[in-house]
Amino acid sequence: MDIQEFIDQHYSIFEKAHGLNYYIELLDGLNLGKDQDHKAIIDALLKFINGRNVIVLKMNDDRIDGIVDITKDDMISNLYCLGDEKGLFHDEDLDISYAIANEDFFAYVLPNNMMLSADKETITVFSSILDDFSIQYFREKSISEKKTPKGSHTSIQFKISLNDIKPDIWRRFVVNDDISLHELHTIIQIVMGWEDYHAYNFRSKDVCIEGEGNNGFCVDSMWKGFHTNVDLEKTFASGDIYVNNLVTYEKQEFEYVYDLGDRWIHKLVVEKIFSERVNSAIVIDGARCCPPEDSGGVYGYFEMLEIQKDPSHELYEERIVDWLGEDFDSEFFDIQRANRILNDVRSWREDGTDSSEYSTIKMRKLGRNEPCYCGSEKKYKKCCLPKDMNSLGTQRKIPI
């Protein structure tokens, strides 16, 4: 059966598994659970499954890549292989791994470790089984009920800057305070110049507000709260929290993390709180160009800039000509372009379309290195991108 057809037929399973709001993870997650008994973990999982009909999902780069047609005996034997860090369910780079789902849970299995999402009752059952096998785990994490904006609405001036890069890459912008944190994320993506490809979160003291990501069903999106600061007391979904639920005073600071692989960490500061609202989010100042997506984090970006300075470098053709583009200017920030795109976001909302829905479900930006939509078989950046930047002010959006 075609994979998309299968997913369409079983959509409710994936939707429910992805939306279950209680999570549990075994201890030592950051070290792939080296101190855990892998066989005991698998035995506990098998006891938990206990005859349920499950779907085995092949994950590739954190996204569902296919349905695995294997018997339960095959599944069990391959799960045991994980103890030796080999076998069907794991490769050495952790780029390809497997998840197990049914209507009641979603389990992601790694060597000597496992993460599971379910409702509260199912989590309690699973916790009891883990206790029986003397397996250590984090207490369950829950996503709160959706909050609503406070009654009085104002606007807020933020300054956002990217950590660990000098001179600073920063922006100053104003938004209304009754937008969700997911909408704030969308605005940050625009004002900074990111392309909204990855999962994200906001952090303040003991609170983590997690983003859904932009790639549909994404294991990284499900487990993003577990791999940093696991002692956080409260975890929320970014679509359920509003800016004025969080912002209480000027000079208040937050952390915004984008792309949990490259880990671009931003400092977000509340500079001013105004009594008046704005017609649209607006950038009022800023400096320097945002790093390109998937450039390897701060150190990968620094390396790329060094290669750009030396056309004789052995990686210049590959990294600069073919991937980055020789016209990349790390010092240039186009504030007018950012405000044009923000104005488009305003028009979506005035048309009754939520900006987060528009950007994450209906359309996506065409990547610079993807084949051009015109059919030329050239990369987009080598074909129609310059024309689109002049006419649209941004990259072409294509249906997902």
Q: At 323, which amino acid appears?
A: W
The strand ranges marked E within 50-194 are: 55-60, 63-67, 96-101, 105-110, 113-118, 141-142, 155-162, 170-176
- 8 Å CB contact between 119 and 104: yes
Per the prediction, the chain carries an average pLDDT of: 75
Greater confidence, 142 or 396?
A: 396
Greater confidence, 156 or 357?
A: 156
Judge residue 255's burial from the number of C-beta atoms within 10 Å of its C-beta, 0-12 exposed, 13-18 middle, 19 or more buried: middle
Residue 302 placed within a domain: no
pLDDT on residue 268 = 97
pTM over 0.85: no
Count how many residues are written for the chain: 400
Residue 382 placed within a domain: yes
pLDDT on residue 397 = 66
Question: 99: which strand partners?
Answer: 57, 108
pLDDT on residue 62 = 53
Same-domain status, 58 and 133: yes
Helix, strand, coil: what percent of the chain each, to 5? 35, 25, 40
Q: What is the pLDDT of residues 118-155, one digit of tens each?
A: 877 888 888 899 889 888 776 555 544 445 555 556 89
pLDDT on residue 172 = 95
Q: How many domains does the chain have?
A: 3
Same-domain status, 90 and 239: no
Q: How confident is the model at residue 326 (pLDDT cuts 50, 70, 90)?
A: confident
Return the minimum-mean-pLDDT range out of 39-43, 82-86, 373-377. 82-86
Task: Give the range of the structural domain holding residue 220, as residue numbers without chain letter.
Answer: 155-289+331-358
Residue 185 placed within a domain: yes
pLDDT on residue 109 = 73
Residue 286 has pLDDT above 80, yes or no: yes
Q: What is the pLDDT of residues 210-246, one digit of tens each?
A: 876 554 444 454 444 444 444 445 677 888 888 988 8
Instruction: Read off the tokens for 125.
Output: 């059952």
Question: 157: which strand partners?
Answer: 174, 272
Judge residue 34's burial from the number of C-beta atoms within 10 Å of its C-beta, 0-12 exposed, 13-18 middle, 19 or more buried: exposed
Return the minimum-mean-pLDDT range out of 31-40, 102-111, 157-166. 31-40
**Domain ends where: 141, 167, 184?**
141
| Cis bond upstream, residue 292 (ω within 30) | no
Residue 175 has pLDDT above 80, yes or no: yes
Return the minimum-mean-pLDDT range out of 74-78, 86-90, 109-113, 137-141. 86-90
Same-domain status, 212 and 117: no
Same-domain status, 220 and 344: yes
Same-domain status, 237 and 130: no
> CA nearest 25: which of 232, 206, 258?
232
Same-domain status, 282 and 383: no
Question: 270: which strand partners?
Answer: 158
Mean pLDDT of 383-388: 80
Same-domain status, 167 and 59: no
Mean pLDDT of 300-309: 93
Q: In the Cβ-directed half-sphere of 293, how many Cα atoms lie within 13 Å?
A: 15
